[in-house]
Structure 1
């Protein structure tokens, strides 16, 4: 076949009909003109082959039947199918964009929660577990600042004591731990229990935390075996049986165990401290409501505090309560006294980090899917335009061929073809 661009274009289609063959013959009449003999016949075998194809097409108007079948197929099936595929691509694109928006919202929500945790715990997020353990060293300074605020509650404690004495008719001890901290500060539990400072403090060893980033070689260290070691024989005689008394009690003046912890750090006394804060807060709130009513004139006359004074006490107390119940303080306290808690908190933070990363990856994936759907829709749109143009051309060619058979009368094909 001659290298003619139009012939190459005609043969590049997936389906070749009669009108393509006619056009190829017309082109070959020009390109194969030198093979024409004196009788007007072409010596080129290629020309003979295409002329034979055209002759077979024209036998009994077979080409019209094939062209009509192709026209109907395009109108009823090919074009609607392409339109459905394009609509499906647009729908997929919209769904992907919607999912990307949802993923972005989830990412922002998880990131905000993660940033809140970072802010509360003072973390950077590089090594969560190690940072949490290192933050425990801030507890003494936090407790010292809290103890200074407790000292400002002296007037509220005196007011509560005066009110209790007025109600019961005699002096009663109220909120002993809270009053103790306001006067003595954040001392050891030993000093709170025994009323004197310990001679020495033996704090319990801090809990150990395994660092997952460190690879440990689990090898048995047999050490250096000394064969000259002498072994003593245990004859089963105890000191009690021999008449010697053994003192198993804690050495006098030595604070050890929980007694070595400060009252704000000791879980037991810390809980008492919080309960007494809440008790004092409840009292001040109730007193404030009573003082604002008219049925409290007798008590008000006996006590010198005013509504403004009680309100100031309540504000100062609530500030102290917020400090002890601050999430950062609670997290650090639990981390210090519970190795499992730091593992749980680390897992929670890492889960939030993983969720943020997952949402980012999901957004990227659905955006790529949306881009692919958009690109596929554009390709199908180009294909649809090409099919419609070829279908309209085929319609025009069929109308011309039918018109030739009826003395060139005007012929118009009606129906679904007019709607494309």
Structure 2
């Protein structure tokens, strides 16, 4: 009796355990699904060798398919597996219904091919191993790969847009530099070469405006003369302050010339001028060089033969002068001849060469004028330092300024400010460039080339930006075009995951099966 009770209790306990297990879900990690199927002996571990035959049969069967919209959608962008084959057979049951005989079999070769494929798939659960392989491949490679591509295209688009922003800033900076250079030169920048050549003609007016402020430096010049004990110090500065921006001739000879012959300045307005004449004839014609009227006679003829013997050198001088009607009579008076002899010195002379330039325009005297300005400024700054840092007793005892006019720090500062104003105007970027253009016409080519390089750089930056914009848009479009593909692969993977879970569930009495770790 005791034995019966124990036996009954054991059977009830086993039944309760079995019923309890039916409600426990089966959790399988998606990445280890294939190993799980092999370990449970659901599929053969050598299933890879059999799948090749199935794939070959599927390829042959796809070559002969009926026209059906369902088949087109089913086969579109999908890797055909066992579950697709079952759907294809369901569609063929409709399209191949005419070939069905009285025994319920189909005579269509298409149906036979796909039914054969199903049989091979179902042998040793080959279809489940392949489905697991496709699922793992999609989860581990396909979906992450497409996402990585999309992210990469988006990153390339962002980098291209970032580069466009940098190029825009560079373009703004270079164009601002170009505009600043044009502003310094006083030109609009539309036709740089022509505008620069035209601007050179405004130099005399600019020099005249600067010369107007120079007389205000006379007090400073006199102060420096008193200090140095040389009333003739800073001669060029004194001359400009009293007589203005005269010619170098007038500064040298203290009198204005009757006429001024300034060296001509020739500019090539066009960047490249092809010479129409003046070409070198290398005698490519008939071999004879035509020298025209200036042909050289080398004395090849008999008449021009020169017999040079020892002691027979002909110096070309007549032995005795013979009177001639054209002989000059030196006894004629100057008044009768009409020749006017000028007085001693250069009064009424002609200013030529460097002497024809104004002091501000002459390269050498311009430099001397600047040096005198800086010399005067250095003296005034030293004097201002003495006045500002030492008391009057110290100055009177230690400096050499006892006999100088009385100037306080304020007046000295005003003089220095006046000198700075003259120096800045005289040595401005515009005048420097125009002065070099006038005295070195090739400088206009250099200056024009530099300005055009900035414009060329701006144009190149613009073209690069346009190219980058197109690339960025292309990257964005490629990323967007991959998103439907990603969504389609994810959807197919989810469907396949559900089909695998359902198939495994049937094998374990409809227990819930969960494939975990599939981050879709």
Give the shorter-chain TM-score range: 0.7 to 0.9
Deviations 1:92-118 (A, max 9, x none): 223223322222222122111111111
Offset at residue 301 of structure 1 (A): 9.1
How do 1:376-387 residues align onto structure 2 when only pairs under 5 Å count? 376-387=478-489
Offset at residue 394 of structure 1 (A): 0.8
How do 1:307-326 residues align onto structure 2 when only pairs under 5 Å count? 307-326=409-428
Mapped partners of 1:296, 1:381: distance in 2: 89
Mapped partners of 2:271, 2:445: distance in 1: 11
Offset at residue 322 of structure 1 (A): 0.4
- Could you tell me whether the CA contact under 8 Å between 2:262 and 2:352 is conserved in 1? yes
Offset at residue 34 of structure 1 (A): 4.6
- Could you tell me whether the CA contact under 8 Å between 2:226 and 2:404 is conserved in 1? no
Deviations 1:347-388 (A, max 9, x none): 211111111112222222223222222222222333222212
Query: TM-score with structure 1 length normalisation?
Result: 0.86
- Could you tell me whether the CA contact under 8 Å between 1:290 and 1:296 is conserved in 2? no
Query: TM-score with structure 2 length normalisation?
Result: 0.70
Which of these residues, 212, 222, 225, is aligned with residue 158 of structure 1? 222
Structure 1 residues 227, 272: CA separation in 2 closer, same or farther (over 3 Å shift)? closer
Mapped partners of 1:237, 1:275: distance in 2: 57
Partner in structure 2 of residue 68 of structure 1:
132
Structure 1 residues 253, 99: CA separation in 2 closer, same or farther (over 3 Å shift)? same
Structure 1 residues 214, 302: CA separation in 2 closer, same or farther (over 3 Å shift)? closer
How do 1:177-326 residues align onto structure 2 when only pairs under 5 Å count? 177-209=236-268, 211-212=270-271, 215-217=274-276, 220=279, 253-296=349-392, 298=396, 299=401, 303-326=405-428
Offset at residue 150 of structure 1 (A): 1.0
Offset at residue 284 of structure 1 (A): 1.8
Partner in structure 1 of residue 169 of structure 2:
105
Aligned length, in residue pairs: 401
SS at match of 1:212: coil
Mapped partners of 2:227, 2:294: distance in 1: 76
SS at match of 1:201: strand
Structure 1 residues 228, 145: CA separation in 2 closer, same or farther (over 3 Å shift)? closer
- Could you tell me whether the CA contact under 8 Å between 1:291 and 1:300 is conserved in 2? no
Deviations 1:10-53 (A, max 9, x none): 12225211111111222233344454333223344433333332
Which of these residues, 37, 47, 54, is aligned with residue 111 of structure 2? 47
- Could you tell me whether the CA contact under 8 Å between 2:182 and 2:189 is conserved in 1? yes
- 2:198 matches 1:134: yes
Deviations 1:118-164 (A, max 9, x none): 11113333332222222111101101111111122222222322343
Structure 1 residues 266, 79: CA separation in 2 closer, same or farther (over 3 Å shift)? same
- Could you tell me whether the CA contact under 8 Å between 1:111 and 1:356 is conserved in 2? yes
Structure 1 residues 236, 221: CA separation in 2 closer, same or farther (over 3 Å shift)? farther
- 2:75 matches 1:16: no
CA RMSD of the aligned region, Å?
3.1
- Could you tell me whether the CA contact under 8 Å between 1:67 and 1:394 is conserved in 2? yes
Mapped partners of 1:83, 1:333: distance in 2: 65
Which of these residues, 156, 159, 169, is aligned with residue 92 of structure 1? 156
Unaligned runs of 5+ in 1: 166-170
- Could you tell me whether the CA contact under 8 Å between 2:200 and 2:435 is conserved in 1? yes
- Could you tell me whether the CA contact under 8 Å between 1:107 and 1:360 is conserved in 2? yes
Q: After the TM superposition, which segments of 4 or more aligned residues of structure 1 sit over 6 Å from their partners? A: 225-229, 235-238, 249-252
Structure 1 residues 213, 187: CA separation in 2 closer, same or farther (over 3 Å shift)? same
Unaligned runs of 5+ in 2: 1-64, 282-290, 298-313, 322-327, 329-344
Question: Rg: which structure is higher?
Answer: 2
Mapped partners of 1:260, 1:302: distance in 2: 38
- Could you tell me whether the CA contact under 8 Å between 1:143 and 1:264 is conserved in 2? yes
SS at match of 2:260: strand
Offset at residue 403 of structure 1 (A): 1.9
**Greater helix share, structure number:** 1
Which of these residues, 312, 333, 337, is aligned with residue 435 of structure 2? 333
- 2:509 matches 1:407: yes
Offset at residue 202 of structure 1 (A): 0.9
Mapped partners of 1:389, 1:228: distance in 2: 99
Structure 1 residues 32, 216: CA separation in 2 closer, same or farther (over 3 Å shift)? farther
Partner in structure 2 of residue 168 of structure 1:
none
